[in-house]
Chain A
């Protein structure tokens, strides 16, 4: 009985990672690369409201979770609500549709029919004097 209980706990812990809506570890690596391409530095401070994304930032090697928007280098916008207090901070969206909602959003990473898509908007990068690394230039539009 006791044995079964611990087994159930263990199974629960193993399956816990799949409770997130995306693969945290993979996402952290992708966002590492995306934001490095923008800022070309380590320990990039990221602000995000979403808990899953917070977890993702915490899993990352080069990203640091920022407690406030003001202190952050970039804000991850997961919904329109996140745009309310964005001020003039550089933002990055997780959906294509959010790109049109705010000009602070310099790009987006999203999934379209199971395929990953990345977009960087040239004018908005220029507005913030940001230059994308050469390997990511193909995503600039």
Chain B
């Protein structure tokens, strides 16, 4: 964002302004010195030319007076010359005797040093009067240093004034030019800054081709981006919905699969009580045929049948409760939850010779969607069951369930002796569709479902690690799931 109130030293406008001003300022400084030197030379040239003119004037008229020692005419001729740049005019003979001095400070007849003939003196000019190559004397002009310096100071003042005005106009010109050049780009930036998010923009045709190209390109690309964003959010929503639907279906199918497995378990669990009922009923029939019915025994048999049917009814209730969809959270103890879990998984584990060892040291209370929690835990148990079954080296297969408080937090720990999870995939096991099982055996949704239920729906945490432990004098390694509520 460009700050309008403060000077932005990194802005294009400032840099343009400074570049132009520096160039102009250097030009002004250079011109100042060149003009000063020119003026200095001009003033000096003026003195030289003045001397030449005076010499020319005097040479034509004064030679005769010098030759004839006509001092009166020399005086009147020299005194007739007036010039502010000339301090004194002297006429000396070839030997350096002063024939006439305009200023009385130099006495006529006294010697004037002729060192100027060999030494350069910027403020003393001389010419000789010659005839037939015979030197008749010298005309010496002493420049008026004060006037010369005054002239230079006056020129310096004029130059300084000119330079100051030029600098001011340089500043103004630099500002106007930098503003003019940077205006289109600033307009583009301001327009972009002021435009609302997702607002389509259009720039008018810019005067400068490059800026016009820039503006139109920015507008096109921005509008395309907005269009893309709009479509993208719609597309993302569609994809998320689709994904959610698929996930829901997968969850449902996972649940159905669990239900199918449980039905198998139930049918297995039902065999024994049905067999008891059948045996008791068959015994009664046989006794009745042989008139051996004993009312006391019948009561006992009936009680046994009632007991078995209650067991059957409970099994049905457990299953029905599990498949029932409830959108209401309820409060229950962890032991109650684990009893149901064991009830639903017992047969599957027993059939596979897996021993489930449950240690409830802390029976804490939870408020949650009970059936969903059971589903989440069934998935972990199923994962452990599959791991222990595939780990053929071990004879005794175990799944441990423990509860405890760690740092004041309720924890449910499930671990097995199935050999653990490979370190390179351990971080991926909760990702959807990730499975190490054959495609026909696993969908890769079970543990993802567990993660979703625990972390997303119940704000709990789940960690997995490989765990080495000793049990029954044997060392085992397995996967350990820690659920923190």
Contacts and interface: CB of A to CB of B under 8 A. Distances in A.
B65 A114 contact: yes
Chain A contact surface mostly: helix
A26 B95 CA distance: 11
A22 B60 contact: no
Given A15-B109, A23-B93, A23-B136, A116 B68 contact: no
Q: Report which residue of A23, A25, A30, A34 has the largest number of chain B beta carbons within 10 angstroms of its beta carbon.
A: A23
Contacts of A30: 131-132, 134
Contacts of B63: 114-116
A27 interface: yes
Contacts of B134: 26, 29-30, 33
B64 A18 contact: no
Interface residues of A, number: 20
A18 B61 contact: no
A129 interface: no
Contacts of B62: 114
Q: Report which residue of A11, A113, A115 has the largest number of chain B beta carbons within 10 angstroms of its beta carbon.
A: A115
Contacts of B133: 33
Contacts of A115: 60-61, 63-64
Contact of A111 (B60, B68, B109): B68
Interface in A88-137: 111, 113-116
Contact of B132 (A15, A25, A33): A33
Interface in B128-142: 131-134, 136
A14 interface: yes
Contact of B67 (A11, A14, A18, A111): A111
Nearest to B95: A25
A55 B66 CA distance: 18
Contacts of B109: 11, 14-15, 18
A89 to B, nearest CB: 24
A39 interface: no
A14 B93 CA distance: 13
B68 to A, nearest CB: 5
Contacts of B436: none
Contacts of A18: 69, 71, 109
Nearest to A26: B136
A21 interface: yes
A20 to B, nearest CB: 7
A22 B132 contact: no
Contacts of B60: 114-115
B66 A23 contact: yes
Interface string A18-52: 10111101110110011000000000000000000
B172 to A, nearest CB: 62
Q: Report which residue of B62, B94, B97, B134 has the largest number of chain A beta carbons within 10 angstroms of its beta carbon.
A: B134
B61 A114 contact: yes
Contacts of B71: 18
Interface in B51-109: 60-69, 71, 73, 93-94, 97, 109
A27 B69 contact: no
A88 to B, nearest CB: 28
Q: Report which residue of B63, B132, B136 has the largest number of chain A beta carbons within 10 angstroms of its beta carbon.
A: B132
A15 B109 CA distance: 7
Contacts of A14: 97, 109
B69 A111 contact: no
Contacts of A111: 64, 67-68
A113 B67 CA distance: 12
B75 to A, nearest CB: 13
B256 to A, nearest CB: 141
Contact of B64 (A27, A33, A34, A116): A116
A35 to B, nearest CB: 12
Nearest to A27: B67
A14 B110 CA distance: 9
A22 B61 contact: no
Contacts of A33: 132-134
B110 to A, nearest CB: 9
Contacts of B69: 18, 20-23
Contacts of A114: 60-65, 73
Nearest to B61: A114
Interface in B258-286: none
A26 B93 CA distance: 10
B70 to A, nearest CB: 8
A132 to B, nearest CB: 13
A20 B196 CA distance: 110
Given A23-B68, A114-B65, 8 more contacts: A18-B71, A21-B69, A22-B67, A22-B68, A29-B132, A30-B134, A113-B61, A116-B63
11 contacts: A11-B109, A15-B109, A18-B71, A22-B67, A23-B93, A26-B134, A29-B134, A33-B133, A34-B132, A114-B63, A114-B73
> Closest 6 A-B residue pairs measured CB to CB?
A114-B64, A111-B64, A29-B134, A114-B61, A33-B132, A22-B68
